């Protein structure tokens, strides 16, 4: 049987492969933006992860006429009123890099400086992953996955990426960078969002849900 094409609005082939594996058996073929170079990028200047995911998924759906998905993620620190938030990826782009310093390391350096005066027991934070699905008929679905933790003052662990070395999960007693990929997927914001997507996507495609659904519901 012919599978229905679904576009994941990303240029990241790893994300396309991950979603393909997850939706295996749902009768869909997951494609990335590499298959639609004429789609072009859209500016992500939303104030929330939901806004940014929606803007990308809507743009992809309008340009291609396909059911489209997009995600946006980042770290929110309570004591910083939710920063770096939607700016997580480019948080420290205003700082001159140290010699051989990666973008991730520079982001962590800026973040640790920003929370320097915040006591250890007030460093609650969370990773957030938002996924938006948009159909050409205008129906939309939003999914949000969260992972709560605490910021450490000193990076620990060598796995993962981004802010993983300073994100401490108090339940597991490890930073995200001390977890294997499987351990991280089991508890992470992204793992939760993808599992919720798997649960609801087929019904969404087959018109069994309302015009705009949110999981978990607000």
Cα 211–chain centre separation:
23
- Backbone phi, then psi, for 201, in 5-degree steps? -65, -40
- Residue 72 among the catalytic residues: yes
Does position 176 interact with ligand IMP (CB under 6 A)? The reply is yes
User: Is residue 175 within 8 Å of residue 158, measured between CB atoms?
Assistant: no
As a whole number of angstroms, the longest Cα–Cα distance in the chain is 60
Does position 175 interact with ligand IMP (CB under 6 A)? The reply is no
Least distance between ligand IMP and beta carbon 19 (Å): 13
CA distances from 59 to 74, 79, 85 (A): 21, 34, 22
Does position 73 interact with ligand IMP (CB under 6 A)? The reply is yes
Does position 74 interact with ligand IMP (CB under 6 A)? The reply is yes
Does position 193 interact with ligand IMP (CB under 6 A)? The reply is no
Give the residue, chosen from 75, 111, 179, 197, that forms a contact with ligand IMP under the rule CB under 6 A.
Answer: 75
Q: How many residues does the chain have?
A: 218
> Of these residues, 71, 72, 164, 169, which one is catalytic?
72
Does position 111 interact with ligand IMP (CB under 6 A)? The reply is no
Specify the pairing of strand 167-169 against strand 174-175: antiparallel
Distance separating alpha carbons of residues 106 and 135, to the nearest angstrom: 38
Least distance between ligand IMP and beta carbon 23 (Å): 19
Give the residue, chosen from 8, 50, 56, 164, that forms a contact with ligand IMP under the rule CB under 6 A.
Answer: 164
| Residue with nearest beta carbon to ligand IMP | 162
Size of the site for ligand IMP (CB under 6 A): 16
Within 10 A of 164 (CB to CB), how many other CB atoms are there?
23
Supply the residues annotated as catalytic: 72
Binding stretches for ligand IMP (CB under 6 A):
72-75, 88-89, 107, 127, 160-164, 176, 188, 190
């Amino acid at each position: 049987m012919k599978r229905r094409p679904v576009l994941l609005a990303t240029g990241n082939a790893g994300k396309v492969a991950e979603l393909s594996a997850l939706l295996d058996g749902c009768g869909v073929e997951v494609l990335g933006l590499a298959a639609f170079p004429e789609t072009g990028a859209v500016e992500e200047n939303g104030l929330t992860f939901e806004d940014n995911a929606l803007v990308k998924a809507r743009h992809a759906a309008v340009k291609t006429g396909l059911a489209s998905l997009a995600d946006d993620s980042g770290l929110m620190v309570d004591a910083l009123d939710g920063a770096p938030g939607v700016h997580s990826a480019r948080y420290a782009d205003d700082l001159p890099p140290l010699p051989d310093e990666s973008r991730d390391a520079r982001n962590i350096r800026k973040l640790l400086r920003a929370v320097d005066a915040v006591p250890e027991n007030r460093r609650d934070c969370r990773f957030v992953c938002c996924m938006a699905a948009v159909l050409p008929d205008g129906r939309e679905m939003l999914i949000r996955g969260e992972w709560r933790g605490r910021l450490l003052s000193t990076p620990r662990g060598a796995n993962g990426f981004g802010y993983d070395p300073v994100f401490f999960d108090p339940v597991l007693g490890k930073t995200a960078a001390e977890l294997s990929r499987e351990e991280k997927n089991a508890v992470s914001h992204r793992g939760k969002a993808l599992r919720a997507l798997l649960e609801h996507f087929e019904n969404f495609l087959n018109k069994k849900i309302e015009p705009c659904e949110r999981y978990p519901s607000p």
